[in-house]
Structure 1
Amino acid sequence: MAHLLVTGSSDGLGHGSAAALLEQGHDVVVHVRGEQRQEAVAGLLEQGARLLVADFGVRDDVLRAVGELNDGPALDGVVHNAGVYSGAPLIPVNVVAPYLLTALLEHPTRHVYLSSGMHRSGTASLDGIDWAGERATGSYSDSKLFVTALSAAVARRSPGLFTASVDPGWVATKMGGPSAPDDFEQGHRTQDRLVVGEGADADVSGAYWHHDRQQQPEAAALDEAFQDELLAALAEATGVELPQR
Structure 2
Amino acid sequence: MRYAITGASRGLGLEFVRQLLNRGDSIDAGVRSPAEAQQLQGLVREAGGRLRVHGLNVSDPKSVDAFAAAVEQGEPLDVLINNAGVYGKDGTLTGLDYASMADTFAVNTLGPLRLTAALLPALRRGSARRIIHISSQMGSIGENGMGGSYGYRISKAAMNMAMRNMHLELRAEGFVTISLHPGWVQTDMGGPQAPLRPEESVRGMINVIDRLKAEDGGRFFSHEGQELPW
Q: Determine if the TM-score, normalized by the shorter chain, exceeds 0.5.
A: yes
Equivalent residue in structure 2 for 1:149, among 138, 161, 164: 161
Poorly superposed stretches of 4+, deviation over 3 Å:
none
Structure 1 unmatched ranges of 5 or more = 123-137, 219-245
Task: Compute the displacement of 1:12 (Å).
Answer: 0.4
Say whether the 8 Å CA contact 1:116–1:168 is kept in structure 2.
Answer: yes
Q: Is 1:117 aligned to 2:137, yes or no?
A: yes
Structure 2 unmatched ranges of 5 or more = 89-99, 124-128, 143-149
Instruction: Give the letter for the 1:62 counterpart.
Output: V
Aligned CA distance change for structure 1 residues 155 and 182 (closer, same or farther; 3 Å): same
Task: Compute the displacement of 1:182 (Å).
Answer: 2.4
Aligned to 1:99: 113
Q: Is 1:58 aligned to 2:60, yes or no?
A: yes
Aligned to 1:212: 224
Aligned CA distance change for structure 1 residues 55 and 92 (closer, same or farther; 3 Å): same
SS in 1 for 2:226: strand
1:1-245 alignment runs, 5 A limit: 2-48=1-47, 49-86=51-88, 87=100, 88-105=102-119, 106-108=121-123, 109-121=129-141, 139-159=151-171, 160=173, 161-195=175-209, 198-199=210-211, 201-203=212-214, 204-218=216-230
Aligned counterparts of 2:204 and 2:61: Cα–Cα separation in 1: 29
Task: Compute the displacement of 1:89 (Å).
Answer: 2.8
Instruction: Give the letter for the 1:66 counterpart.
Output: A
For the aligned residue pairs, the C-alpha RMSD in angstroms reads 1.9
Aligned counterparts of 2:205 and 2:132: Cα–Cα separation in 1: 6
Instruction: Please list the CA deviations of residues 39-81 of structure 1 after superposition, one character each: whole Å capped at 9, or x if unmatched.
Output: 2312221232111111223222112212222233221111110
Task: Compute the displacement of 1:120 (Å).
Answer: 2.0
SS in 2 for 1:5: strand
Task: Compute the displacement of 1:14 (Å).
Answer: 0.6
Aligned counterparts of 1:211 and 1:61: Cα–Cα separation in 2: 30
| TM-score (normalizing by structure 2) | 0.79
Aligned counterparts of 2:36 and 2:206: Cα–Cα separation in 1: 23
SS in 1 for 2:37: helix
Instruction: Give the letter for the 1:188 counterpart.
Output: V
Say whether the 8 Å CA contact 2:163–2:177 is kept in structure 1.
Answer: yes
SS in 2 for 1:78: strand
Task: Compute the displacement of 1:33 (Å).
Answer: 0.5
Aligned CA distance change for structure 1 residues 175 and 82 (closer, same or farther; 3 Å): same
Task: Give the fraction of aligned pairs with identical amino acids, expressed as a percent.
Answer: 29
Task: Compute the displacement of 1:115 (Å).
Answer: 0.5
Say whether the 8 Å CA contact 2:82–2:133 is kept in structure 1.
Answer: yes
Instruction: Give the letter for the 1:206 counterpart.
Output: G
Task: Compute the displacement of 1:194 (Å).
Answer: 4.3
SS in 1 for 2:67: helix
Instruction: Please list the CA deviations of residues 80-130 of structure 1 after superposition, one character each: whole Å capped at 9, or x if unmatched.
Output: 1011111353122211121122222112211100010100259xxxxxxxx
Aligned CA distance change for structure 1 residues 35 and 21 (closer, same or farther; 3 Å): closer
Instruction: Please list the CA deviations of residues 181-222 of structure 1 after superposition, one character each: whole Å capped at 9, or x if unmatched.
Output: 124323222432344xx23x444211211123231331xxxx
| TM-score (normalizing by structure 1) | 0.75
